[in-house]
Structure 1
């Protein structure tokens, strides 16, 4: 079919798997409106036989709805065509957002993320596998225990996901350093941060100034980091 129509195989596969036309029509997420809390009541009254937008608007006004009649008329328009109500749809998270949700400690996630992440993982087995591996590695770091590292590396390599397989191969080559990093109470993160600062300044100032100015900027940034690192953290109100 793809060859005859000159279409991409994924496009043809998407249409072939769809059971209804709504599944293959892309619609941008609708923004929430003041009518959203009353959509359930609209659906109930429509099922009961009340199909007058004017009467429905009057009933909603009695319940506290302050919106215009035209909004109610537009809301029930899909029902007249046998379609479901146009409810607000959440924008799917970007790959960067999904990665941040997974790598953030569960206790530091917002209630919004704690609500959406399980639903996201339920729709994508690969992300669920990645989330499980991240949680297990996090547990090793929290406990300073690398005993399960070999098993974890085996599971990482057997996921069948090319990026994770490559990561497993790289970690195996430095597995002794990885195990030391897990079990040691010390970290080279501060030094790595300083090196990153120097590299950033070098890229920003390349060809624009000499070594004296670069040195001055690096020293100034180190001073600012030390200054703000020594400040007490304000308690939440």
Structure 2
């Protein structure tokens, strides 16, 4: 057993105090060493925490499985960091991270309807987590993205295949939309293919309706004509 003088000599050589030595010995993972200025610093796991929280709320608490899920999504950190994050959640069940609420239907709809390139990394990860246990929502997302590509890239010739794919899935709301499109299929294909549209006319109609509502009960057609025609 080392004497007091020898312990102090070792501490001076290593430039460590006995408190530092105890801290290193008691640490189970590197994250346990983060104290003071290290707390609150950004981590490579931060961008993936919303995804992990969503999967936690869905009932998946296996740290190894979740680490395997986020590695293909771009995570380059260690499994130990993921395990430490979930250990904190287990030890603190009342923490905000452990009780994070799932995204609202309006927010999920916004993620689905937006172009994937416009989503930031956190939104992209959370959108991947939402349909994990819902095949219908996953199929809906795929149909929306295909239709958006037809609309923006003028691929009207793909509409019949899209309608057939929609009918094969159990999505009643999309079945109603597909039935309405099918009743006027030729016109819809032309609208998704040709460069011409009635957008300018519809814009003028909308402007006239706005002026009409502004003047409701205040003036007649003479003043309405003066406001519409000069513009």
Q: TM-score scaled to structure 2, two decimals?
A: 0.53
Partners of 1:156 and 1:165 within 8 A in 2: yes
Secondary structure in structure 2 of the residue aligned to 1:147: helix
Residues 127-166 of structure 1 correspond to what in structure 2 (within 5 A)?
127-166=137-176
Distance across 2 between alignment mates of 1:111 and 1:217: 48
Aligned to 2:93: 84
CA change 1:96–1:209 in 2 (3 A) is farther
Aligned to 1:68: none
Which ranges in structure 2 are unaligned for 5 or more consecutive residues? 1-25, 41-87
Aligned to 1:116: 126
Residue 173 (1) aligns with residue 165 (2): no
Q: TM-score scaled to structure 1, two decimals?
A: 0.52
Secondary structure in structure 2 of the residue aligned to 1:92: coil
How far apart are residue 62 of structure 1 and its match? 6.6
Residues 2-13 of structure 1 correspond to what in structure 2 (within 5 A)?
none
Distance across 2 between alignment mates of 1:213 and 1:190: 23
Which ranges in structure 1 are unaligned for 5 or more consecutive residues? 1-44, 49-55, 66-75, 224-237
In angstroms, what is the RMSD of aligned CA positions? 3.6
Distance across 2 between alignment mates of 1:95 and 1:181: 30
Distance across 1 between alignment mates of 2:205 and 2:132: 40
How far apart are residue 186 of structure 1 and its match? 1.9
Distance across 2 between alignment mates of 1:208 and 1:182: 42
How far apart are residue 102 of structure 1 and its match? 1.3
How far apart are residue 206 of structure 1 and its match? 2.8
CA change 1:141–1:63 in 2 (3 A) is closer
How far apart are residue 184 of structure 1 and its match? 0.4
Query: Who wins on radius of gyration, i.e. which is larger?
Result: 2
CA change 1:117–1:64 in 2 (3 A) is closer
Partners of 1:158 and 1:165 within 8 A in 2: no
Partners of 2:136 and 2:170 within 8 A in 1: no
Residues 8-27 of structure 1 correspond to what in structure 2 (within 5 A)?
none
**Higher relative contact order by CA 8 Å / sep ≥ 6: 1 or 2?**
2
Aligned to 2:62: none
How far apart are residue 99 of structure 1 and its match? 2.2
Aligned residues: 156
Residue 196 (1) aligns with residue 218 (2): no
CA change 1:150–1:87 in 2 (3 A) is same
